[in-house]
Amino acid sequence: MSSSVPSFDSLDKIYDPSALLKQGARYNNLVAQFEKLHGRKAEFVVRSPGRVNLIGEHIDYCGFGVLPMAIERDVVIVGATTDDDTKVRVANSNESKYPAREFDYEGKEKVVTIDSSMLEWSNYFKCGYKGMLEKFQLDKPKGLFLLVDGTVPAGGGLSSSAAFVCASALAVVTANKLDISKTELTEIAIVAERNVGVNSGGMDQSASVLSEKDFALHVEFVPKLHTSLVPLPKTTPKLAFIIANTLVTADKFVTAPRNYNLRVVETHMAALFLSKVLGLPSVDTLKEVYDLYYKDSKLNEIERFSDLLAKAIELFPKDNTNGNGYTLEEVAEMIGVPVQEFQDKYMTRFPVETDYFRLVQRTKHVLSEASRVIEFHAACESSDASLKTLGDLMNASQDSCRDLFMCSCPEINQVCEIARNHGSYGSRLSGAGWGGSTVHLTTEDNVPKLIEAIKNEFYRKAYPNITEEELDDAIIATKPCGGAAIYTGF
């Protein structure tokens, strides 16, 4: 049984010292705004953060672990309760963009109606509300007065939606004085977010709830969700991370058949082929291949990845396209499954468009990236952990994402190059890629210089009309922060 969500009476248990002045003013303003808006005293304050993935890209759906950390940007909810009714009155500090909403409890069976076809900000609160009340089956939950304030930029690949759902679930728990562990909160939030049509694997919610200040989080999915804290090196000057959103958005509906969906299918194909030629039971994720093949092995994890990668390169047949991959017919023959049967199972629900399937490149990326996650974790725990070692792994990850998994884009490549030229030890895309955010490892003293260089050499050239407010949302400095918490010091 994991511990319950922590309560803190001081913000320095949650945020880095460099953020305390700003966060203190923010919390005071929110409590004052709440009391003015709802005409009553605040009774509780909860928060849950966004996250950035430090290393481990496009390997979660192959079954391998990833290594995110919680960031300073978060969702804070100030609340008060009433026994007079079961209504929820939820307002947002940015009222012009997110108008106040009101809804009522609809009973134990339904809890609340969520129309996922509507892009509606309060749906994310309803997800957390529904998830918790489905679990606890209360006859009469408290009526709620709430004020939400989010600083995680929406659509920036930093999991603003997971932060909001986790904070909402925690607000419902706190208001109704319910007893729940951090692990249960995480598991409920993972399922709850699916009510708005987001089918997430669990990394985002795990990082938001289970992270601790000054630690990253190693999240593993097989055989079940498991997390371990990863201590980041204590260096002088201190390490810091910069997150820079390229502001390039890939329309998932348009590009997924050629990008995301295709990569998922290619990794399934690779696993089916390797399980066949290695004499294993037929499995369709590379983690299953890895686990089955090495179940009695004396090799360590990193040696296993090297060994499997060498064997895979040897076993894949030479293609007839000068390195561009195999046709669907060739893959079907390689895995011993009729084309139609494969299409029905793997290419119907999520459409795929391509002439060739690049199984060798995708396998090289997945196995080397999964190894880098283990190496990153090990480097953090070694007595001589250096930023250069971590940075080299992040840079190798970016090279692999760009050249082997082909999920980078010119803007990501450009931002990473600028950052490395101005004191970043390691720079890589973070999130699915094809746009979105980048993450950069540097030192605290270099943060202003690095931010200014990226603003001048990328943003102001690529987006000449960008405002200062948009810039502040696009590029942020952060340290590894604490996960979900209840704040009592107001």
Question: What residues are labeled active site?
Answer: 204
| Block residue for tokens 């929110």 | 30
Stated length of the chain: 490
Contacts of 431 (CB under 8 A, 6+ apart): 53, 57, 157, 437
Q: The tokens of 29 are what?
A: 């303003």
Alpha helices, DSSP H only, in 433-484? 447-454, 460-462, 468-474
Q: Do residues 184 and 173 touch, judged by C-beta distance below 8 A?
A: no
| Block residue for tokens 């101005």 | 422
* SS3 call for 294: coil
Q: Write the DSSP assignment of 75-134 as a string of letters.
A: EEEEEEEESS--EEEEEESSTTTS--EEEE---TTT-----TTS--THHHHHHHHHHHHH
**In whole angstroms, what is the distance from residue 68 CA to residue 56 CA?**
8
| Block residue for tokens 């489905």 | 134
Q: Write the DSSP assignment of 227-259 as a string of letters.
A: EEEEEPP--SSPEEEEEEE------HHHHTTTT
* SS3 call for 33: helix
Alpha helices, DSSP H only, in 115-181? 122-136, 160-175
**In whole angstroms, what is the distance from residue 79 CA to residue 338 CA?**
58
Terminal CA-CA length for the chain:
30
Q: The tokens of 72 are what?
A: 């300073």
